[in-house]
Amino acid sequence: MSLSDDSFVLSDLSFSSVTPGEDQRWSTWPSIIPSFRGPKPWPSWMVISAGAIDTELGVLKSGKEADVFLIERAVPDDGGPPVEPSAVLLAAKRYRGTDTSDFHRSSQYTEGRRTRRSRDSRALHKKSAYGRALSAGLWASAEFTALSELYELGAPVPYPVQVNDTELLMEFIGDGKEAAPRLAAVCASARELGDLWEQVVELMRIFARAGYAHGDLSPYNLLVHRGRVVVIDVPQIVDIVSNPRGMELVERDCINVCSWFTRRGLECDPAELSGELMAEAFGR
């Protein structure tokens, strides 16, 4: 079966003698509508068999608004012909619903965004139980959409596999079952630091050319995997033009990253970087 094919061999699921156990479920991929799957062409490492099982391996990160879990999506060995690829590790980001507070400082990011249904708008404004559940789903969908667009633009982001209600499944960035370190935890030589800086500036340029600011960029949501910088946590991505605080958030991103690099001996000017990014954004 080709990865570009939307059809699935449902008999894999119907006649498999394997039953999901504790902390397992059948792969949710077959039930996801096409628009909630990642952009094509799908990566060669994707597991799309209807007979695959998702196994929860543990928590990668706990946060105020969402928790990230390590998931293995694998096709059980039932003695039949081998399936390629047969297993992959994924990161499952699950936004919390009615049992948690709303997204941190959400109003400054959502200015300029609109919801179609008046009932939904009222619920979000009143922060009712329905509104909080709706908000969690909207943030998951917003991050999936942002990752999809940024991935297609060539930005160094995890590939977004799928979104299902409040759960976003994406590429796991790490070696084995160990997640890649955050930039904040990396000890780098002067040469390595310079290379990391150039990568961070380039990813900010990609955002700016598309008219976006990350909105909450810092050394804590930049991963370094085998020397490559990968940006994560993008649900709050901001349209610089439509959001009244767009320029302010660009400046804040610049200050955050420049402060970290300056403390490690690499001189950089956040005002200069901000000006360069704004020129990229408005020169589209």
CATH number at residue 235: 1.10.510.10
pLDDT, tens digit, for every residue of 38-61? 999 999 999 999 999 999 999 999
Residues 25 and 86 in one domain: yes
- Asked if residue 143 lies in contact with residue 168, where contact means CB atoms within 8 angstroms, the answer is yes
Residues 207 and 84 in one domain: no
Q: How many domains does the chain have?
A: 2
pLDDT band at 135 (very low <50, low <70, confident <90, very high): very low
The alpha helices in the chain, defined as continuous H runs, are 11-14, 106-110, 118-126, 129-152, 190-209, 246-263, 270-282
- Asked if residue 270 lies in contact with residue 251, where contact means CB atoms within 8 angstroms, the answer is yes
Q: Which of 6, 233, 239, 253 is catalytic?
A: 233
Q: Which of 5, 77, 195, 216 is catalytic?
A: 216
Is residue 120 annotated as a catalytic residue, yes or no?
Answer: no
Q: For residue 71, which amino acid is it?
A: I
pLDDT band at 106 (very low <50, low <70, confident <90, very high): low
Which three-class secondary structure state does DSSP give residue 58?
strand
pLDDT of residue 127: 45
Residues 275 and 227 in one domain: yes
Residues 141 and 83 in one domain: yes
pLDDT, tens digit, for every residue of 222-268? 999 999 999 999 998 999 988 999 999 999 999 999 999 999 999 99
Residue 214 lies in domain: 180-282
Is residue 233 annotated as a catalytic residue, yes or no?
Answer: yes
Measured distance CA(12)–CA(8) in Å, rounded: 9
